[in-house]
Amino acid sequence: MRLFQSGPAWLLVPFACAAYALSKRESCGQWDTIPAAPYTIYQNLWGAKDATSGWQCSGLDYQSGDLVSWNTVWDWQGGPGQVKSYANIELKFNARQLSSVSSMPTTWRWSYTGSNIVADVSYDIFTSNSPDGSLAYEIMIWLAALGGAGPISSTGKPVATVEIAGTTWDLFKGPNSSWTVFSFVARTEQTSFNADLLDFFEYLIHYQGMPAAQYMSGIAAGTEPFSGSNAQLTTSEYVLSIH
């Protein structure tokens, strides 16, 4: 993902939210949030200005403790190659050094419907050199690259291929502003994903030179749409914890 942008709110098509059945809690504003403790659902339509037309709404469908079901519905046209948003659910916590984390178990079951979808389904985690420091690394874990979507990369080619959580991933590396982005892209869609996210960090620490002293304070999971029609990402089950 590219870092959140600020500025004037982008106006959504007025009838957008009437196009589907409303969720238990739903939101259609560019920067709207939906509380779902311990998580927060973010609309985050940060790239909407690059679309010639479009809209997006997100909603919380169900919650029982740490288990959440949620969805995001969208239609984005124009601006080929440009990400329009990152609707996501994020777990925030006090800054933790990677070396102090023992596990990050997660489950994510999802499905996607729509036409001509170009998008990814991904976890997104930023790290820094100190608890309040500037960004140093961004780690993305793409469970799907739909319609030819591709990650940030200096060369357009993977720097490594690795087996993690029973799945083969191509690892891409490239710059975004002042930080380095590592993107693990699954070779096959992972629509029912169970893993310990710490395994991805341990690989980067041991084989790609990422310092174990890095701090993180949040983990997001969502979708980055480039373009498509009548699209809906439905998360039927999502759980994440940090130990």
Active-site residue set: 138, 224
**CB atoms closer than 10 angstroms to residue 174:** 16
Q: d(Cα 189, Cα 85) in Å, to the nearest integer?
A: 21
Q: Coil, strand, or helix at residue 38?
A: coil
Q: For residue 46, which amino acid is it?
A: W
DSSP track, 191-219: SEEEEETHHHHHHHHHHS---TT-EEEEE
Q: Which residues pair with 120 in a beta bridge?
A: 145, 224
Q: Residue 70 in contact with residue 60, Cβ under 8 Å?
A: yes
DSSP code for 68: E
Answer positive or negative: Cα dihedral of 175, 144, 109, 100: negative
- Do the bridges between strand 53-64 and strand 160-164 make them parallel or antiparallel, or are there none, so unpaired? unpaired
Specify whether the backbone of 212 is left (phi greater than 0), alpha (psi in -120 to 50) or beta: alpha
C-alpha 173/C-alpha 159 separation (Å) is 7
Query: How far apart (Å, rounded) are the C-alpha atoms in residues 56 and 177?
Result: 26
